[in-house]
Amino acid sequence: MPARNISIPNQPSNVTNQTITSVSREHRKFRPSAEFQRQANLGSYAAYKRLYAESVNTPNKFWGRQAKELLTWQKPFKKVLDWKLPHAKWFLGGQLNVAANCLDRHLGTARENKAAIIFEGEPGDVRTITYKQLHREVCQFANALTALGLAKGDRAAIYLPMVPEAAVAMLACARLGVIHTVIFGGFSSEAIKDRVNDCQAKLVITADGGWRRGKIIDLKTNVDRALAGTPTVEHVVVLKRTGQPVAFSEGRDRWWHDLVAGVSAEHKAKGHDSEHPLFILYTSGSTGKPKGVLHTSAGYLLGTTITTKYVFDLKETDIYFCTADIGWITGHSYVVYGPLANGATVLMYEGAPNHPEPDRFWDIIDRHGVTIFYTAPTAIRAFMRWGDDYVKKHSLKSLRLLGSVGEPINPEAWMWYHTLIGKKRCPIVDTWWQTETGAIMVTPLPGVTATTPGSCTLPFFGVVPKILDEQGKEVPRGGGGKLFLKNPWPSMLRTLWGDDERYKKQYWSELPGYYFAGDGARFDEDGYLWVVGRIDDVLNVSGHRIGTAEVESALVSHPSVAEAAVVGRPDELKGQALVVFVTLKNGFAASPQHKEELRAHVAKEIGSLARPDDVRFAAALPKTRSGKIMRRILKEIAAGGTVKGDTTTLEDFNVVAALQSQEE
Ligand code: 7RM
């Protein structure tokens, strides 16, 4: 095929007003089986199109109906939407209780004795908690929090491992109208202090420790250190999880089990206004202090409930396993609120995927009969790297649907997921969304959409994605640009806590009237959306702007490469030279010949213009604790500088140290 090596394949020449050039040639299509389609909650493209058209043409009618059907209200809303750009208020005049929507409304139905949570701790302890039991625990904890002096509108920080009590704490706060902020259990004292101070939390809910790869994470010690500088905190509730000795501050600290002992499990859920704040979740900005993304009650609950129902095709009999930690938005929306509002059975796992062996997830799936599995590309690439044998030891026959979230999934990883995990039988939903969007925005619907590896395909109801160039003009199909969302949606963030100016500037000022997602993307000829990476990371190759995902995907298509990250390095001649960092699969060795082979491979796959100038082998890539590659750090390393800027979200600083020590 002579066309493969010249310039940019696959691009209509009339695509001029594009900001990003695409080099992907992925066209395979995977259609849902007739069998899956027949049983799906939404089983035809015509049905999707009809609902989608209604959702964007008459959004108030669509969302008004969904809100009445899917949520239980204590006071009906009067107005669906009040939109004063960039501030939206949804379901005005209405009152509901988010926790009651996740719990109370399932009581007295066939669901009440159904498992809400099947918990597996890393050491192997298993607990099953029914809806009735979870309701009891939440009510009791809510009463205990009230006795501690917590009231509606107060803020409480939650710093817990992935244990059922994390969900109990979130739901108890929601029940009372206390605004929770979950801080990921891997974060440092410094991160706890910043977040607690930013939202002025009165309470911290933590544990003695949590299990990770056979070791104890000293959560309480981290909290104690943080609390030296947090004047607003009055009490700390401590869950006994690992049982190691911890320091206790008399008067301030209370054991969870002491606090609830003898406390009533009766609690009447009051209705809260639709726009009452539900939680703040801090997400790292590229610079400066983390942003406190604020979500409110009814709209967020509706967005997570409706997407869980349709995207995961949820059925009464499913056992649903989302591997995200509750410290991330995915844990909030798709471990706790979305699934529980739908009355699902959620499998919750505390620990690492490779403890005691790299087949822990597959073992869990077989032992518990998991039917729906939702994870991240970074995890999938780790599974690939650990080798297929760990997967092949298990049948995985209970699975019927797979999901991916967090990063663009490269076609190579998609095909592995499809073949090895899904046994070519399970649809894959590649879901694009953000902390800020609250719920899934662009995604296949498993009984409807023919999927293409690497594309998150089509907008969910009410979502209007636009690809725009620097002038704000729409980029024709095939061309790349910046991803924006037009129109408000119920689960959108409402503001950044305490910093509405930053909210306006960050999300609504790139192009007036549009929400700026910060991602680069394109529509292909079928109108499918491809996210090609963060706009800040876009590469400039001889005048072509190319998203990181496509070059990385070309690298990972080489049989030796487990993971790749591409960054630009300032270059006097070319403007930008391409530096790629790769980790190799087991059994492959780094060598100068191997470098040349990878450079040639990219040139063959994409074109010689994208031939990397430099290939660096690494034992690991720097990632955030939710698994996203931190290209900003690699850029600094590639340019030969020291790593500056915020590294508090980095999973493992040793990775950076190792990369830097490779510099000559
Ligand atoms: C849910 C979550 C958001 C950013 C987003 C993208 C990237 C997430 C996908 C994806 C391509 C996907 N929230 N992203 N999902 N890119 N395909 N399916 O991850 O706030 O932590 O991150 O993640 O860049 O803007 S988040």
For residues 49, 50, 55, 60, the Cα torsion angle rounded to the nearest 10 degrees is 180
CA 577 to centroid of chain Cα atoms: 31
The rounded distance, in Å, linking the Cα atoms of 56 and 369 is: 38
pLDDT tier for residue 438 given thresholds of 50, 70 and 90: very high
Cβ distance 295 to 179 under 8 Å?
A: no
- For residue 597, is pLDDT > 50? yes
What's 187-215 look like in SS3? CCHHHHHHHHHHHCCCEEEEECCEEECCE
The domain segmentation of the chain, as residue ranges, is: 101-113+130-280, 538-663
- The whole-number average pLDDT for the span 585-593 is 91
Q: Is 304 in the pocket of ligand 1 (CB under 6 A)?
A: no
Residue 8, pLDDT score: 35
Residue 544, pLDDT score: 83
Q: Going by CA atoms, what residue is nearest to atom 12 of ligand 1?
A: 432
- The whole-number average pLDDT for the span 25-41 is 93
Q: Going by CA atoms, what residue is nearest to atom 19 of ligand 1?
A: 406
- For residue 10, is pLDDT > 50? no
Report the atom number in ligand 1 closest to the C-alpha of 517: 25
**What's the gap in Å between 573 CA and the centre of ligand 1?**
34
Q: Is 517 in the pocket of ligand 1 (CB under 6 A)?
A: yes
Residue 16, pLDDT score: 52
Share of the chain above pLDDT 90, in %: 85
- For residue 545, is pLDDT > 90? no
Residue 7, pLDDT score: 33
Report the atom number in ligand 1 closest to the C-alpha of 443: 18
The rounded distance, in Å, linking the Cα atoms of 333 and 155 is: 19
Phi, psi of 302 (to 5 degrees): -65, -45
Would you state the structure tokens that stand for residue 282, as one six-digit string? 């801090």
Q: Helix count (H) and strand count (E) of the chain? A: 21, 30
- The whole-number average pLDDT for the span 309-333 is 97
pLDDT tier for residue 12 given thresholds of 50, 70 and 90: very low
Q: Is the peptide bond before 559 cis (omega within 30 degrees of 0)?
A: no
The burial of 124, by beta-carbon neighbours within 10 Å (0-12 exposed, 13-18 middle, 19 or more buried), is given as: exposed
- For residue 136, is pLDDT > 80? yes
Residue 279, pLDDT score: 98
**What's the gap in Å between 517 CA and the centre of ligand 1?**
10
What CATH homologous superfamily does 538-663 map to?
A: ANL, C-terminal domain (3.30.300.30)
Strand bridging mode 79-84 / 87-92? antiparallel
- The whole-number average pLDDT for the span 615-634 is 90
Mutation probe of ligand 1 site: the residue of 531, 534, 651 with most atoms within 8 A of C-beta: 531
Of 26-30, 36-40, 364-368, 484-488, which range is least confident? Answer: 26-30
**What's the gap in Å between 407 CA and the centre of ligand 1?**
5
Q: Is 283 in the pocket of ligand 1 (CB under 6 A)?
A: yes
DSSP one-letter string for 384-420: HHH-THHHHTS--TT--EEEE-SSPPPHHHHHHIIII
Mutation probe of ligand 1 site: the residue of 380, 449, 519, 532 with most atoms within 8 A of C-beta: 519
The rounded distance, in Å, linking the Cα atoms of 9 and 323 is: 37
- For residue 240, is pLDDT > 90? yes
Mutation probe of ligand 1 site: the residue of 283, 332, 432, 456 with most atoms within 8 A of C-beta: 432
Q: Is 552 in the pocket of ligand 1 (CB under 6 A)?
A: no
Mutation probe of ligand 1 site: the residue of 293, 402, 405 with most atoms within 8 A of C-beta: 405
**What's the gap in Å between 544 CA and the centre of ligand 1?**
24
Cβ distance 152 to 178 under 8 Å?
A: yes
The rounded distance, in Å, linking the Cα atoms of 148 and 202 is: 10
**What's the gap in Å between 53 CA and the centre of ligand 1?**
25
DSSP one-letter string for 352-381: -TTSSSTTHHHHHHHHHT--EEEE-HHHHH
Residues 462-515: tens digit of each pLDDT: 999 999 999 999 999 999 999 999 999 999 999 999 999 999 999 999 999 999
pLDDT tier for residue 546 given thresholds of 50, 70 and 90: confident
**What's the gap in Å between 519 CA and the centre of ligand 1?**
9
- For 501, half-sphere exposure in the C-beta direction (CA atoms, 13 angstrom radius) is 0
Residues 361-384: tens digit of each pLDDT: 999 999 999 999 999 999 999 999
Q: Is 431 in the pocket of ligand 1 (CB under 6 A)?
A: yes
Mutation probe of ligand 1 site: the residue of 407, 458, 484, 515 with most atoms within 8 A of C-beta: 407
Residue 609, pLDDT score: 84
- The whole-number average pLDDT for the span 410-422 is 97
- For residue 617, is pLDDT > 90? yes
Residue 17, pLDDT score: 63
Q: Quote the mean pLDDT of the chain.
A: 93
Report the atom number in ligand 1 closest to the C-alpha of 330: 1
**What's the gap in Å between 124 CA and the centre of ligand 1?**
31
The rounded distance, in Å, linking the Cα atoms of 427 and 256 is: 42
- The whole-number average pLDDT for the span 652-663 is 74
- The whole-number average pLDDT for the span 257-277 is 98
Phi, psi of 293 (to 5 degrees): -70, 125
Q: Going by CA atoms, what residue is nearest to atom 3 of ligand 1?
A: 434
Would you state the structure tokens that stand for residue 580, as one six-digit string? 């790629």
Q: Is 428 in the pocket of ligand 1 (CB under 6 A)?
A: no
**What's the gap in Å between 483 CA and the centre of ligand 1?**
12
Q: Going by CA atoms, what residue is nearest to atom 8 of ligand 1?
A: 406
- The whole-number average pLDDT for the span 426-445 is 98
Domain 101-113+130-280 and domain 538-663, same fold? Reply is no
What CATH homologous superfamily does 101-113+130-280 map to?
A: ANL, N-terminal domain (3.40.50.12780)
- The whole-number average pLDDT for the span 83-97 is 98
- The whole-number average pLDDT for the span 592-599 is 95
Share of the chain above pLDDT 70, in %: 95
- For residue 13, is pLDDT > 50? no
- The whole-number average pLDDT for the span 327-351 is 98
- The whole-number average pLDDT for the span 588-592 is 92
- For residue 654, is pLDDT > 90? no
The rounded distance, in Å, linking the Cα atoms of 607 and 638 is: 22
Mutation probe of ligand 1 site: the residue of 329, 380, 434 with most atoms within 8 A of C-beta: 434
Of 57-61, 113-117, 535-539, which range is least confident? Answer: 535-539
- For residue 287, is pLDDT > 80? no
Q: Is 282 in the pocket of ligand 1 (CB under 6 A)?
A: no
- For residue 18, is pLDDT > 80? no
Q: Going by CA atoms, what residue is nearest to atom 16 of ligand 1?
A: 407
Q: Is 435 in the pocket of ligand 1 (CB under 6 A)?
A: yes
Residues 97-114: tens digit of each pLDDT: 999 999 999 999 999 999
